[in-house]
Structure 1
Amino acid sequence: MAKAEAVKKREPVKTRRPPVGASPGTLIADPSARRSELRLTLISPQKFKTIENASIDDLNTHCDKWPVIWLDCTGLANIPLIEEIGRIFSLHPLALEDVVNTGQRPKVDFFEDHAFVVVRMIDDVTSHRYEQIAVFFGRNFVVTFQEREGDPFNPVRKRIESSAPNRLRARGADYLAYALIDAIVDSYFPPIEAAGDMVDGIEDEMLHSTHKQQMRQLHELRRDANVLKGVLWPMRDALATLIRNDVPYVKAETKIFLNDTLDHSLRLIELVETQRDMLTGLIEMHLSLSQARTNDVISYLTIVSVIFMPLTFLVGVWGMNFDPESSPWNMPELKAYYGYPEALLFMALVAFGLIGFFKWKKWL
């Protein structure tokens, strides 16, 4: 497996909020918000119609003529447009405030004639960027707000556009909302499974050799797992709340499908928890292997030092400037005819003798 990419520096996430003391429901656009664009999908059991770059006039014209309408707003820069959408569908102003103030925790709020669901989607895996998607739905409408282009809704759109009869056109707005939420939850599987493959690859590499880059990759993956855990747990709670509450615009048969989405979210949480435990274990294993490698190096250096210590002693003794002619006690072996080869042979015997001793003790 190819080595993972180097850790990239993350940009801090900044959330635009109303000033302190502002009236509840005050909408203030983020200066970095994208330009707002509307896509209107009109749905009936027999047919459908999609209007790209729709306007409020298109919405007013078709709003009461189709059993189900889906309005998708991409970009949150146009505050008057968002307020007008809220007026047409009677959306609660506090919910609209949460739409504009991105970075909300996944949740579900119920109002008299509609529900408000906040979920988070992995927008860009490489840059670790998440995007908030807000979903409103009532008896005959679904309104979604996205921060920017790009979403996992293409399979849902293809099912709506299919010529074959399908549940998305035959059932109501609550089923369409379920399909959109289910697509968001299922979009977490590919990046989480890819992260699992990366963890397995790093583990295989570590069994052969360890290096500093692996530790950086492991810390990065564990940080991603912690972020995913912080997103998936409240998403699970939101889905459970959506299933438990008895509101007239969420049918009992739709709750059966929402239960399946809840199961998917629980499986995602289990995958993330397992990966997080594996990453914690791999980090500890990396530290242990690195420490063991350091100990091995120190052991070999110590053995080499011990071998050379007596040799250094002998060389130091024979290197002293004694005069054997002045006294028979002044190192007479300095004038031995084979003194040099005999000294080398003796030192070699000492070195090999120490190596044999270390092997006998199983230190080598």
Structure 2
Amino acid sequence: MKLEKGNFFKIWLPTRESAGRLVFENPTDNTLRQDADKSLITAYVYDEKTIEKIDLTDIGECKQLIDTTKKVWINIDGLRRAEVGQICKEFSIHQLIEEDILSVDQRPKSDIFEDFVYCLLYQLFLDKSKYNELSREQISLVLGKNFVLTFQEEATRDAFGEIRKRLQSPLSKIRQYGSDFLYYSLVDAIVDDYFTTMDSYGEKLERGESQLIRTNAQMRMSYILFLRKELLLFRRTIFPARDVISSLNKNENALFNTKTLRYLKDIYDHILQAVEMVENYREGMSNLQDLHMNMANLKMNESMKVMAVVTCLLAPATVIGGIFGMNFAQIPLLHNTYGFAVAVALMLLIPIWMVFVFRKKGWF
């Protein structure tokens, strides 16, 4: 898409809603989540040889799917308080975890219990309805014996499409290994999405450097503020996620196989790379701010130079006009026929001579 001059910034300016969400968010405000319009519950029951996808309409059917031979992945798209409470009760999930699942703008975290492992992460994505503005979706994951539960906020987005495709292959490691490997794969898919959104942010940052020169100061400042808010969202998402992955990597819960723990170390390496990228973008953001300030100062210096030159050029005319405007009875050329012409000529010739001298000295 070809953008006209200035439109590059206009399409990415933050909305009032997003600006308030990023800047004025109060972490002590336990806002209740609004129930989703609809909730989709999908279950995958699989082993090495078979896999079955089941669309559930009743929460009570979830518990019946769990057996000792097959693994189960139950995904809930769209969170409704009653349904989340019922499924947590069915699987004996602690009430505090239920509150975390239903929380709004909760900090990424992990809790490791004897019977299950819980972690809360955010999927970062580009909202096409808001001109690729950076947004995030809260995802909760619960690992139990032979089952995995995932809770997604939106039913219209699928954070695990690639995992669903891999599940269809009987040769995939997800099918061959236990539920803990599926849990690892889901977490890995979320972390991998960070790099996709960060690449897009890097493009905005690089393209912004070349576009800043061609826009006015107000538009430049608006765009810089927008990039800073997106960078803040990266930091608030990725930095805590590093601690979550670290705790999963160091856990000694029996639900995790030794082989899976090795894969978790790979996720930790990826999240460290993401943290380094965020730090690099922070430096790039500082350079962009410095460029904006330098351009503003340069423009101000140019304006001051023009004003100083104009003031100097008008000074002789002001002095001459002041001399001949004094209230004295005897003033040279006062009654001379060419007195006025001489005064005007001096007012014009002296500034012209000053311009010649200034140009010769390279002052402007």
Q: TM-score range by the shorter chain?
A: 0.7 to 0.9
Q: Name the counterpart of 1:283.
A: 289
Q: Name the counterpart of 2:261.
A: 255
Q: Name the counterpart of 2:88.
A: 86
**TM-fit CA distance, 1:31:** 3.7
Q: Name the counterpart of 1:147.
A: 153
The runs of 5 or more residues in structure 2 that have no matched partner are none
Alpha-carbon distance in structure 2 between the residues aligned to 1:284 and 1:128: 24
**TM-fit CA distance, 1:218:** 0.7
> Do 1:120 and 1:130's aligned partners in 2 also have CA atoms closer than 8 Å?
yes
Residue 226 of structure 1: which of 210, 232, 236 is its match? Answer: 232
CA RMSD in angstroms, aligned pairs only: 3.1
**TM-fit CA distance, 1:318:** 6.0
Q: Secondary structure of 1:41's partner? A: strand
**TM-fit CA distance, 1:128:** 4.8
Structure with larger RCO (C-alpha < 8 A, sep 6+)? 2
Q: Secondary structure of 1:10's partner? A: helix
Amino acid in structure 2 at the alignment position of 1:350: I
Q: Name the counterpart of 2:118.
A: 116
Amino acid in structure 1 at the alignment position of 2:73: W
Map of 1:31-180 to 2, 5 A cutoff?
31-64=34-67, 66-79=69-82, 81-122=83-124, 125=127, 126=130, 128-149=134-155, 150-162=157-169, 165-180=171-186
Q: Which range moves more in the overlay, 94-103 or 243-252? A: 94-103
The runs of 5 or more residues in structure 1 that have no matched partner are 20-27
> Do 2:32 and 2:104's aligned partners in 1 also have CA atoms closer than 8 Å?
no
Residues 29 and 348 from structure 1, CA distance in 2 versus in 1: closer, same or farther, beyond 3 angstroms? closer
TM-score, normalization by structure 1: 0.84
Q: Secondary structure of 1:187's partner? A: helix
> Do 1:123 and 1:129's aligned partners in 2 also have CA atoms closer than 8 Å?
yes
Amino acid in structure 1 at the alignment position of 2:229: R
Q: Mark the structure with the bigger radius of gyration.
A: 1
Residues 66 and 36 from structure 1, CA distance in 2 versus in 1: closer, same or farther, beyond 3 angstroms? farther
Residues 59 and 318 from structure 1, CA distance in 2 versus in 1: closer, same or farther, beyond 3 angstroms? same
Amino acid in structure 2 at the alignment position of 1:109: D
Map of 1:261-272 to 2, 5 A cutoff?
261-272=267-278
Alpha-carbon distance in structure 1 between the residues aligned to 2:294 and 2:28: 46
> Do 1:36 and 1:73's aligned partners in 2 also have CA atoms closer than 8 Å?
yes
Amino acid in structure 2 at the alignment position of 1:334: N
Alpha-carbon distance in structure 1 between the residues aligned to 2:323 and 2:115: 100
Alpha-carbon distance in structure 2 between the residues aligned to 1:289 and 1:168: 54
TM-score, normalization by structure 2: 0.84
Identity of aligned residues (%): 26
